């Protein structure tokens, strides 16, 4: 099976051009925003646009829910496509989706700048920013049962057939997800630090955090923690315990996807025991 990635920042018009990019390469199957699509039909998956928050939408698009990924994998196994086009905002995102769905490595990458000029990209970004419009490359009736938000208008895609003649080759749904008009919310790095500090302070064998760094990316958050450990504890299992507990609690409290969690034993401290005298 050939896997092709179609890559570009959010809001630059990937979904609008997905059918054309796929057709040019003889690809019938598209993975976009949590959906497995063939032609104008949704075969499996749940639209990321149904999520009520931006974070939830990203996790859905990345197939981080096991039951969601399992459903799409089973459908792919049933249809056995010769090729699949995966849409994503970065190289890492399309590679991660391919891995999550058990697909071969991405063998070709098409970037939005390869198929759209600067004016078209700026126009798409302006529409997303000012009107909150998102495109899903299937007809409206295919996604109504899964969508959270409201529908703006259908968008028919035409192909030129001679002078003055056009043929409809597909229909897309223009939607506005709930999260695009509820306003923004932000979870600061310091809030994440406070959560981590609370967890770490309750783990026996850890003295304190000496350095903390959180970096937010489209595919998830990356956390780096340097620790001062108490002398006498076995270091490797202690660091593994920190990783497991921090990941579980941060994801539970913030709904953020932790992409990487690096924990370093920076130094040791010898705790003096009180005299028995």
Q: What does DSSP assign to residue 269?
A: E
- Residue 17's SS3 state is helix
Are 147 and 46 a contacting pair, CB within 8 Å?
Answer: no
E strand or H helix at 196: helix 189-201
The per-residue pLDDT for range 259-268, each reduced to its tens digit, is 889 999 999 9
Q: Can you give the pLDDT at residue 66?
A: 93
Domain boundaries, the chain: 2-180, 189-269
Per-residue pLDDT band at 139 (split at 50, 70, 90): very low
At the top level of CATH, the class of 189-269 is alpha beta
The per-residue pLDDT for range 115-136, each reduced to its tens digit, is 888 887 787 677 555 544 444 4
| CATH of 2-180 among 2.30.29, 3.40.50, 2.60.40, 3.30.70 | 3.40.50
The per-residue pLDDT for range 209-252, each reduced to its tens digit, is 999 998 877 667 889 999 999 999 999 999 999 999 999 888 88
Q: Can you give the pLDDT at residue 150?
A: 40
E strand or H helix at 259: strand 258-269
What Cα–Cα distance (Å) separates residue 16 from each residue in 2, 4, 110, 197, 227? 22, 17, 14, 44, 47
Are 223 and 196 a contacting pair, CB within 8 Å?
Answer: yes
Quote the CA–CA distance of 124 and 128 in Å, as a whole number: 6
Per-residue pLDDT band at 185 (split at 50, 70, 90): low
The per-residue pLDDT for range 150-178, each reduced to its tens digit, is 433 444 444 444 444 444 444 444 444 44
Same fold, 2-180 and 189-269: no
Mean pLDDT (whole number) for 32-41: 86
Mean pLDDT (whole number) for 36-50: 83
The 10 Å Cβ neighbour count of residue 154 is 12
């Amino acid at each position: 099976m050939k896997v092709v990635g179609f890559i570009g920042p959010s809001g630059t018009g990937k979904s609008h051009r997905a059918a054309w990019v796929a057709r040019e390469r003889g690809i019938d199957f598209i993975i976009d925003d949590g959906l497995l699509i063939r032609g104008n039909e949704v075969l499996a998956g749940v639209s990321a646009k149904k999520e009520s928050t931006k974070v939830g939408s990203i996790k859905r698009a990345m197939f981080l829910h096991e039951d969601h990924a399992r459903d799409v994998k089973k459908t792919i196994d049933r249809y056995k496509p010769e090729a699949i086009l995966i849409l994503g905002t970065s190289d890492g995102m399309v590679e991660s989706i391919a891995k999550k769905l058990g697909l071969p490595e991405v063998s070709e990458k098409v970037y939005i700048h390869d198929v759209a000029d600067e004016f078209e990209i700026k126009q798409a970004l302006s529409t997303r920013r000012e009107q909150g419009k998102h495109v899903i490359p299937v007809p409206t009736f295919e996604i109504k049962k899964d969508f959270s938000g409201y529908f703006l208008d259908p968008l028919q895609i035409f192909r030129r057939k001679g002078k003055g003649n056009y043929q409809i080759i597909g229909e897309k749904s223009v939607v506005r997800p709930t999260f695009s008009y509820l306003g923004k919310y932000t979870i600061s790095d310091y809030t994440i630090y406070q959560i981590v500090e609370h967890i770490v302070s309750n783990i026996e064998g850890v003295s304190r955090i000496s350095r903390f760094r959180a970096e937010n990316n489209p595919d998830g958050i990356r956390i780096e923690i340097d620790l001062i450990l108490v002398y006498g504890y076995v270091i490797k299992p202690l660091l593994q315990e920190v990783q497991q507990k921090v990941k579980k609690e941060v994801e539970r409290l913030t709904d953020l996807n932790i992409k990487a969690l690096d924990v370093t034993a920076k130094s040791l401290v010898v705790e003096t025991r009180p005299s028995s005298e």
